[in-house]
């Protein structure tokens, strides 16, 4: 991972997947209330046009604190392929993705086990 840009409490981060060479993930995150939240993630082939790939957006930004966020999954520039809400369950180290659409997923929840580590006290922030 490498930080591409920092503006106040906002950071743009790029990650190249070692397991899938040629793929990149662009992450937009915000430092709020002493924690990072992910606002947007864009998956694409390395060097691909910004109009290609898949984008996940979170409103408000997704956090490790378990606060629910709405999500949209968009293919290309504007073709929405799924939406719903995502919320963490910190006590059980898992995240629930509850789908609003497409119709065949409406009302279904996918639980994903996760390992979330909180930032240690005193570590640097984007605003330092």
Task: Give the model confidence (pLDDT) of 57-85 as tens digits.
Answer: 999 888 767 788 999 999 988 899 999 99
Closest by alpha carbon to 94, among 60, 64, 70? Answer: 64
Q: Which residues of the chain have pLDDT under 70?
A: 17, 20, 46-50, 64, 114-128
Question: What 3-state class would DSSP assign to 39?
Answer: strand
Query: Under a CB-based contact definition with an 8 Å cutoff, are residues 85 and 100 in contact?
Result: yes
d(CA 11, CA 84): 25
Q: What is the pLDDT of residue 46?
A: 64
């Amino acid at each position: 991972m490498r930080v591409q840009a920092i503006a106040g409490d906002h950071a743009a981060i790029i990650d190249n997947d070692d397991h899938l060479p040629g793929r990149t993930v662009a992450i937009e995150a915000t430092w709020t209330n002493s924690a990072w939240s992910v606002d947007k993630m864009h998956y694409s082939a390395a060097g691909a046009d910004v109009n290609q790939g898949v984008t996940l957006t979170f409103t408000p930004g997704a956090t490790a604190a378990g606060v629910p966020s709405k999500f949209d999954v968009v293919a290309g520039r504007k073709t929405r392929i799924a939406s719903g809400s995502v919320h963490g369950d910190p006590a059980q180290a898992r995240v629930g993705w509850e789908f609003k659409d497409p119709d065949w997923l409406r009302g279904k929840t996918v639980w994903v086990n996760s390992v979330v580590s909180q930032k240690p006290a005193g570590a640097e922030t984007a605003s330092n």
